[in-house]
Amino acid sequence: MLKTETPSTAHPDLDLYELPQLISAFVEDQLQAVAAVRAAGPQLAQAVAAALPRIQAGGRLIYAGAGTSGRLGVLDSVELYPTFSWPRERAVALIAGGQEAMFVAVEGAEDDQAQGARDVQGVSIGPQDVLLALAASGGTPYVLGALEAARSAGALTIAFANNADAPATAAAEIGITLDTGPEVISGSTRLKAGSAQKMALNTFSSSLMVKLGKVYGNLMVDLKATNAKLLRRAVALTVRATGADEAQARAVLEQCDFQVKVAVVALRRQIPVEAARQLLDQAQGHVRQALDAG
């Protein structure tokens, strides 16, 4: 039996627990998710290093999963736009059962291997693209079909699974095993298996975005200021990165459509926003290189 399906020996009487003990059981078990992601650190670094040149060449991140794993892929893909101004068309999420499966479980969709392949082929996957295949069990047919189609198209394939020696990680060019073990509620992989997958995806995509120049120091300088909160954040980030006062920061941000990167370079180098944009273009979007340019 798969570890993710095996009943936990730590909590055989879970239904008898008083509430404080019950809450503690769920919370403490999540620590194994952190340990699993930490153990997969070398594989995550390998995955980022392999994905980077393809993404720099114009490739896309394509996520494929079913159920909780599929929804986590959707979540990671959607959040790249407001966080890093990553183009929506370059973060494509595929979930077994289609878009409605994000909100309603579509029974049996995960068992359709041919549909997984068709969905990947339907987004015209190619050699510059990166497929992120997500399956807690590691054997979801939909995900295996997606992997097969992606490899046939020459894309980089990275698989995340919560069981060792899983078919998905074996089928991928880079396999990332997040060994979270049995769940507190047997087989409920929306618990720590899902937590580990979310952490691993956050780590992978955020590390990739840092290497693409979307971060200066530890500041989110390429955010998309799409609401009042993010507009305030853009001003605060510009103030922190430049030492300018709030009025100065806002004035320059208004000249460059609230692009924090441009404002930081313009203020730090005391140049017009168009000149700052040119320096950033020459530095492939890296703020630090644009500031150091001769």
The catalytic site residues sit at 79, 110
Q: Are 208 and 51 in contact (CB under 8 A)?
A: yes
Cα 241 versus chain centre, distance: 26
Distances, alpha carbon 96 to alpha carbons 166, 193, 214, in Å = 19, 18, 31
Maximal CA-CA distance, the chain: 69
Q: Bridge partners of 131?
A: 62, 157
Task: Enter the tokens of residue 123.
Answer: 């987004």
83, containing H or E segment: helix 67-84
Q: How many angstroms separate the first and last alpha carbons of the chain?
A: 62
